[in-house]
Amino acid sequence: MFSDINVKVIIGLFCVSAIAFLSHRLGVVDTSYPIIINTNDKSKILINSMYTESTLDESDRILVQCKLLKQEGYNFCGLGIPLTNGARNNGVDLSNYNRLSTVIKYMAPAKNAKLKISFRNFNDHYSNLADNVSLKFNSISFNPNLHELPIVIPFDALQVDNWWVEQYRIDFSDSQVDLSNVSYLEILTDGMQNLGNYRIEIDSVTLYGQLITEANLLKIILLIWLITVIFLVTFQHNILKKMSITDSLTGLYNRYGIAIWTNKKILSRINRQNFYLFYLDLDDFKKVNDTYGHKVGDQLLIGFSHRVKKYLDSITNIQFKFARLSGDEFVLVIYDLKENQIKKFAASLLDVIDTPIRLKEHETYARVSLGIAQLKLEINTFDELLARADSAMYYAKKEGKNRFKIFNETVSQDLFFRKQVAEKIKDTIIEDTFYLSFMPIFDAKNLNMVSVEVLLRASDETLQCIGPDVFIPIAEEYNLIKNIDLWVIEATFKQIKKESTLLKVTPIIFCINISAIELHNPHFVQNLIELMELYQIDAHDFELELTETSLVEADLMSVSTLQEIHSLGVNLTLDDFGTGYTAFSQLINYPVSCLKIDKTFIDNLHSADKTKSTMIKAILSIAESYNLKTVGEGVEYYEQYSFLTEQGCDMIQGYFFCKPVSWTQLKNILQEPNAQKLRQEKINKLAKKFMK
């Protein structure tokens, strides 16, 4: 918006400048000063030398008649016109005039007789009130009979009389033409060479000039441009500065703005005991976007921010700043709130939020999980305080959402634990002590091994104790997962290339898990292509697996990344399907080729509650409709296998057939000629037992 204003101002200023310049050229600012219009406008003074006689006639025009009686010395006669009625030192400023126009006739008993016009200027540097001749002679001599009437004399032609400079010993600076304080205008003969009669007829003498010169006008225009540019730059800088700290959707502070404000407060002498940061994360916001669309989602964020701010404004005796970090995450910084008031304030804030928000066409809720952290002595930055509130908010979500959690020792220990695990992961990446295990996946009908899921394992005892289900989310939190994903992909590709001979005889597909974060990694697809080219891996040799929950927050960039992967010929599998609440109708938006039914459904398959079995049947039915392959995960018992095969599940994965194995063990299974037969015999035996 401010760029449009800049353009309009520049265009407007350009137009004004052009109009001003053109108007000046057309004479709009021209001015005139008639010194002589008629014979009665100003008093006239006859001037003549010793050997001349002169008369002045003002009846019709100004007529000066002179007669030279004796040809001795320098003789002259003419007319003096005072420009003011005051003293000689109070003249007229003629600086704005640049030319003199006169209708004047001169007759003399000589062919090249000249007239001399002088503007007599007073200046304290060289003039004396008692000496009339001390006024500067700014003069021009010319023969009127050589010019057409009116005669126009440019002021650039004026010169200071040399005799005057020499007589009064004038320095260089004061010997220049000066028309700033002119007291008299004199029109005299410039010498009288021959005896006889001289006649000067003056009809008019008018000065012409400009209220402002073209040079000064250009200076003013340039000055205005300079001031305008400085103003626009300053204006734009202030707008950009405001934009850099403001969330464009809600008008609140953004992350950068709240960080600057909070860091300033932390550095100032505030009471840390009364300074708190609230981390608010909207619960299930993705469902609103999926159900009503992103436009309604934006309206909800705006309505939510207005409601919270209105509530905060209604509370006296507290000072606060409210900000939107990103997406559906908000931060509230409050000080002057006492420790014993925190829980009551948090509960009332949740109550205010937990009421319907009316949008333009809908009514919905914006419940939040709230984490609270107090500014302690050991905290010196906004990020440190935010990390504590974020950890507390994480606990609030784990405990059931729509509640608050204050950062305490338990949360602190968990934060410390996650930092330790993150350090272990860093060390493991640097020392290259990760290794791979492989979980076989079998065709449900013929029991042939068709693929293996690649599983990440760590040699470090700490990571072994907690397992990937714990350290992978921590790796995502600390931005380490990208390195892990690339390590797993490259390690798998190395294994495929190394065992290419075996895999040609007994081909299997390697299913590699990747983090949802890769969907927002602009370099992931290119990195994948480079590794495929480096190890000469065909797109049909492997598949990539994503958890269904990773698609809960899928946006345009996520879908674009999935489509890029799919365009390479790489199949995509949706893991843990059924836990992410993805609407079946949304599957068409994602280029997946296979669904893995989550183990939690299979574990409770034969419980009294038939919900799980009904859900599995629905998944298999929908998968068939969309022409998707299916894998049953976590199959440990014959009854589970039997149910899945009867319902048309394509593949089986679980301890019922095989646990995760090393590559050496997997090779032995692949090379065992009777492996498929032994699996079939196991099934037949269990089937007979089950039927009894």
Q: Residue 153 pairs with which residues in a beta bridge?
A: 100
Instruction: Check: CB of residue 213 under 8 Å from CB of residue 96.
Output: yes
Q: Residue 441 pairs with which residues in a beta bridge?
A: 451
Residue 588: which residues within 8 A CB-CB, separation 6 or more? 626
Question: Could you tell me where the beta strands, DSSP code E, fall in 343-468?
Answer: 357-358, 363-364, 368-374, 404-406, 434-443, 449-458
Give the DSSP letter of residue 180. S
Low-confidence ranges of the chain (pLDDT < 70): 1-3, 37-42, 86, 290-291, 361, 548-556, 578-587, 608-609, 691-692
Instruction: Check: CB of residue 651 under 8 Å from CB of residue 575.
Output: no
* The pairing of beta strand 329-335 with beta strand 115-121: unpaired
Q: Which pLDDT belongs to residue 466?
A: 83
The two three-digit tokens of residue 60, written as one number? 């019709």
CB half-sphere exposure, 212, CA atoms < 13 A: 14
Q: φ, ψ for residue 574 (rounded to 5)?
A: -100, 110
Euclidean distance between CA atoms 62 and 200, whole angstroms: 8
Instruction: Check: CB of residue 57 under 8 Å from CB of residue 63.
Output: yes
Euclidean distance between CA atoms 537 and 534, whole angstroms: 8
Instruction: Check: CB of residue 464 under 8 Å from CB of residue 523.
Output: no
Identity of the amino acid at 580: G
Nearest to 82 by CA among 93, 91, 73, 74: 91
Q: Residue 385 pairs with which residues in a beta bridge?
A: none
Euclidean distance between CA atoms 158 and 141, whole angstroms: 9
Give the DSSP letter of residue 448. -
- Cβ density class 528-567: b for 16+ within 10 Å, e for less: beebbeebebeeebbbbbbbbebbbbbeeebeebbebbbe
Nearest to 24 by CA among 218, 228, 227: 218
3-state secondary structure 470-490: HHHHHHHHCCCHHHHHHHHHH
Euclidean distance between CA atoms 356 and 368, whole angstroms: 13
Q: Which pLDDT belongs to residue 37?
A: 61
The DSSP annotation for 475-544 comes to HHHTT-HHHHHHHHHHHHHHHHHHTHHHHHHS--EEEEE--GGGGG-TTHHHHHHHHHHHHT--GGGEEE
396-401, Cβ contacts within 8 angstroms, sequence gap of 24 or more: 396/369, 396/370, 396/371, 397/281, 397/283, 397/369, 401/283, 401/284, 401/367, 401/369
The two three-digit tokens of residue 604, written as one number? 């409770």
- Treating both helix axes as pointing N-terminal to C-terminal, what angle do 468-477 and 409-431 enclose, rounded to 10 degrees? 90
E strand or H helix at 630, and its extent? strand 629-632
Euclidean distance between CA atoms 284 and 263, whole angstroms: 31
The two three-digit tokens of residue 623, written as one number? 């998968």
Nearest to 177 by CA among 74, 100, 85, 80: 100
By 3-state DSSP, what share of the chain in percent is helix, strand and coil, each rounded to 5?
Answer: 45, 25, 30
Residue 628: which residues within 8 A CB-CB, separation 6 or more? 587, 592, 593, 594, 595
Euclidean distance between CA atoms 550 and 544, whole angstroms: 13
Longest dimension (CA), the chain: 164
The DSSP annotation for 10-25 comes to HHHHHHHHHHHHHHHH
Tell me how long the chain is.
692
The DSSP annotation for 75-115 comes to --EEEEEES-SS-TTS-B--TTEEEEEEEEEEE-SSTT--E
Q: φ, ψ for residue 496 (rounded to 5)?
A: -60, -45
3-state secondary structure 264-307: HHHHCCCCHHHEEEEEEEECCHHHHHHHHCHHHHHHHHHHHHHH
Q: Residue 95 pairs with which residues in a beta bridge?
A: none
Name the pTM for this structure: 0.57
Q: Residue 652 pairs with which residues in a beta bridge?
A: 442, 632
Our CA dihedral for 31, 34, 37, 41, rounded to 10 degrees, sits at 130
Per-residue pLDDT reduced to its tens digit, 305-360: 898 999 999 888 888 899 999 888 999 999 888 888 889 999 999 888 888 777 77
CA Rg value for the chain: 49
The two three-digit tokens of residue 155, written as one number? 């002021």
Instruction: Check: CB of residue 614 under 8 Å from CB of residue 659.
Output: no
Identity of the amino acid at 587: L
